[in-house]
Amino acid sequence: MTKSRDFLGPYRLARLIRQGSTCDVWEAVDEQTQDRYALKVLNNRFRADKNEIASLKFEYTVAKDLVSPRIIRVISYRVESGTPFLVMELFSELNMKQALRRGPESLAFMIDKIVEQAAEGLYYMHTKGWIHRDIKPDNFLVSREGETKLIDFTIAEKKKTGLGKLFHRSGTTVQGTRSYMAPEQIQGAVCDERTDVYSFGCVLFEAVTGKPPYTGQTPNDLLSKHLTASIPSPVVYNDNVTPEFAALVRRMMAKKPAQRPDSMWEFLKEYRTTQVFKKRPKPPEVSVFDNMPGIKSAEDMFKKPASEKESKADEVEKPTKSDKDNDSGDGKKNDTKK
């Protein structure tokens, strides 16, 4: 392994955290200060792709002014040796989706804190005029203590007001993640805070049941259920959920935005007086944080033969840009034809 391949500027690549279809996330060390960061790096195939470079720059544009303990801190956008990347704070590597794949009990004992902090991060983003538009369990990082941070602002959108809202034109493609998309987002209509409220309701449903509210045989079938299917109750899948919390989640998932809480602040006020579970769950005997995938160093990635590297990569959390999510036909950030 050559020194140039082990470094990006002053940053030494120490460990691959997650491998994606277009970007990889590395733990890195600034050799001058010895401070540790997370680097979101465009992988080899996309380092000259203008669209992917623009997407990375846009994420920095959105995130650089979001200064909150509930949101991942994006420090800079850089290009070193022809490689574009973001420098971010290094935080927990476990996202909600990874934990929930091991069952809702993995987080249930501290769900109160997780939900409140996740909602606070989203509310803060809204106060800055941004709609996230890709709220899902994958985009909340959770620490062992329940500290939670919102991530990934690739398809965020400035809230439309006045003439911008009046002259909005529905597009022919829709961005988002099918398992969590609000009806108006699917239809290409104007999105506002209530769009993220809907998606967050889907996240809460999954957080207490271990499964998203809708699944489908095909991607279009899944989208259709968000538009027309009856709203499920989490109580059906977890009888320890209180009727009050289930009712709140179902209101968040109302088909019409006007029937949802008007803002994340309205949600927070109600949530703080609502009990999630009838009986408080106990921490599992084996913490999900003690059962993480194996550590990968820069040497692991650069020195292994291609076939072995591909096999090892299967152990890493799959990319967030994909047309697959579970077995539900869910597409992630790729555009969805209407």
pLDDT digit string, tens, across residues 204-229: 999 999 999 999 999 999 999 999 99
Number of H helices, E strands in the chain: 13, 12
- Residues sharing a CB contact under 8 Å with residue 151, sequence separation 6 or more, in sequence order: 71, 72, 95, 139, 140, 141
Based on the domain organization, do 103 and 252 belong to the same domain?
A: yes
Domain count across the chain: 2
Residue 335 above 90 pLDDT?
no
CATH, residue 130 = 1.10.510.10
Based on the domain organization, do 311 and 175 belong to the same domain?
A: no
In DSSP terms, 326 is beta-bridged to none
E strand or H helix at 259: none
Kindly state whether residue 259 falls inside one of the protein's structural domains.
Answer: yes
Based on the domain organization, do 189 and 219 belong to the same domain?
A: yes
Based on the domain organization, do 123 and 19 belong to the same domain?
A: no
Based on the domain organization, do 223 and 308 belong to the same domain?
A: no
- The tens digit of pLDDT for each residue in 22-53 reads 999 999 999 999 999 999 999 989 999 999 99
Based on the domain organization, do 86 and 137 belong to the same domain?
A: no
| Predicted local distance difference test score (pLDDT) of residue 21 | 87
Based on the domain organization, do 180 and 114 belong to the same domain?
A: yes
DSSP sequence for 87-155: EEE---S-BHHHHHTT-THHHHTTHHHHHHHHHHHHHHHHHTTEE----SGGGEEE-TT--EEE---TT
- CB 255 within 8 Å of CB 227: yes
Q: Which of 136, 25, 132, 144 is nearest to 94 (CA)?
A: 144
Based on the domain organization, do 175 and 255 belong to the same domain?
A: yes
E strand or H helix at 41: strand 36-42
| Predicted local distance difference test score (pLDDT) of residue 160 | 81
The pTM score is 0.84
| Predicted local distance difference test score (pLDDT) of residue 5 | 60
Tell me how far apart the alpha carbons of residues 77 and 64 are, in angstroms, rounded to a whole number. Answer: 10
Locus of tokens 């999954």: 206
Based on the domain organization, do 154 and 168 belong to the same domain?
A: yes
The residue segments making up the domain with residue 16 are: 3-92+291-321
